[in-house]
Every structure is written in structure tokens, then in C-alpha cells.
Amino acid sequence: MRLFEAIVDANHRALAGDATAGLHPADFADELPIAALTCIDARLNPLFPEVLGLPKENFIWLRNAGNIITGPLSSTMRSLALACAVEGAREIAIIGHNDCLICKTSAMKLTDAFRALGIDRTALPENLTEYFGLFASERQNVIKAADFVRRSPLIGAKVPVHGLMVDVGTGKLEWIVNGYQTLETAVAPPAQLTGALAEQGMDALKSLAEFKIGEMKFPDTKIGELATQGKNWLAHEIQELESKPPEPPAAPPPVAPKIPLPPVPPRITVRTWKR
């Protein structure tokens, strides 16, 4: 059982009333410490790191409003990268929570809240949703953040990146992004594809092993014979052209008949009668 498998299992058993449920961090020394990004919601203060069953020295706690990551090179990614490179974090967890106030905040509500603080709309970024990372689903926000971390060039390819949700009322954990599975998918090709490639390689090697140079067949015609045949063909074509009678000259094109013009009307003579 790996670290987060044991964490979620112990969490669920403890909530079900198992008094013996717990985690033995010494058994997971190679996977600790972890770096966790959560929201700034004060209701989370008494939950971490106890709901994970970890001692504080194995828990690197990063927080921002809404546990939001806006990109693989964002400022939060900088902190997560340093948590791994400097603080020695072995695994990363993005942990969202239910009833998140950021999730319930629209751009209009945010504008009104800033106005109540004396900050006019003109002083705020044009796109509030993009700048503040507003979201409509806590789960989707965690999935999106975990994907940003997994694709970030600042995070080592061998670091598992998990996504979880925690219930602020009960402390129950829900594992929604299994970083171990994602890591295996990204590193290793599908088994079916691997088998197909291996089979193709074996077929190619088999064909090469069965190849014998003595069985190669070349055309019996010699190069000199090909040249002679080509020369004879050209002489024959010239003789055929010379023996043909000259073609009669082409007949002149027919002359189109002239369109007859209408007859010229007779002149009208006007006579003057004298009285």
C-alpha cells in the first residue's frame, strides 16, 4: 500500500469508528514529506495535517484563496516547485473543500465586495474571472489544478500529483485524482501497445534471421545486352518513321457564309404640283 492509499484508508476507517485506525509515517519514509495546497478558509485550520494522519514535520502547507492554480508557470507553481527542490517534498496534493466561498463568488459579487472596500471597478483587472481564477465547481477546480501541476516543467516527472476533497464538517477525504495512476500512464505506454510493438519487433528480427544472401535472385539480363536492345529499338522506331508516306496537307478551314444585308430601300421622290 502506497502513502495516499494508506492515508485515505485510515481516514475512512477512523470516521467509521475504528479506534485502531491510524498511519505509521515511518513506513513511508521514502514518500515523505508531502506538499499540500489548500484554501485559506479558516475552517481548515484544525483539520490539517491531522485528517491526513501526518505529523507537522512531514506536511508542507501551502495556501491560497480557493486552492487555485492558474497555469503551469504561475506563482503558486513556483512555491510548489521550491517545496520539492528545497524542502524535499516527495509527493504533491491539491486539496479542495466543500462549501467554498470562492466557488460561490461571481464577478458581479466580487466587484461589489471591492467597491465596499473603496476600490472602484476601474482599478481592477478587466477579466475578473480569469485573473482571480473564479470557478463554479470545487471538484473540477481540483482536477484542473492537479493537471496544471502534472504538466508543469517545474515539477519532476517522478513526483506523484494527487487531487482530493475534504469535508469541512466531518474531515472525510475523497480521492479524486490518483497521482500514482496518472504517473504510470504518463511514463509507461499502454500494455497493449507495448505488446504490439514487441511482436512487430520479433517478426522483423525473425525475417532478418531467415534471410539468406544465396537465395537472392538477380535478373539474368546483362548490362551490355540492355544497351544493345535499347539501341535496336531506337533504330527500329526511326525506320518506321521514315517509311511512312507523308501526310496530305490539311484542308483549309471552311469559309463562313456571308450574312446577306437587307436591300437598300428605294429613294422617295417628292414632286411639287403647280396650280
Measured between alpha carbons, how far is 178 from 162 in angstroms, rounded to an integer?
Answer: 5
Stretch 3-25: mean pLDDT, rounded?
95
Choose between 173 and 199: higher pLDDT: 173
- Answer left, alpha or beta for residue 266, where phi above 0 means left and psi between -120 and 50 means alpha: beta
Residue ranges of domains in the chain, CATH in brackets? 3-102+134-190 (3.40.1050.10)
Question: What is the DSSP code (8-state) at residue 98?
Answer: S
Q: What is the structure's pLDDT at 212?
A: 52
Q: What is the structure's pLDDT at 138?
A: 97
Strands (E), 18-102: 34-38, 59-63, 91-97
Stretch 7-31: mean pLDDT, rounded?
95
In the predicted model, is pLDDT for residue 17 greater than 80? yes
Amino acid at 24: H
For residue range 82-132, what is the model confidence (pLDDT) as tens digits? 999 999 999 999 999 999 999 999 999 999 999 999 999 999 999 999 999
In the predicted model, is pLDDT for residue 211 greater than 50? no
In the predicted model, is pLDDT for residue 201 greater than 70? no
User: 10 Å Cβ neighbour count for 69?
Assistant: 24
Measured between alpha carbons, how far is 147 from 182 in angstroms, rounded to an integer?
Answer: 10
Question: What is the DSSP code (8-state) at residue 157?
Answer: T
Model confidence, pTM: 0.67
Measured between alpha carbons, how far is 158 from 183 in angstroms, rounded to an integer?
Answer: 7
Stretch 29-33: mean pLDDT, rounded?
97
Q: What length does the chain have? A: 275
Choose between 156 and 224: higher pLDDT: 156
pLDDT tier for residue 182 given thresholds of 50, 70 and 90 = confident
Q: What is the structure's pLDDT at 204?
A: 47
Q: Let me know: does 159 contact 153? Beta carbons within 8 Å.
A: no
In the predicted model, is pLDDT for residue 16 greater than 60? yes
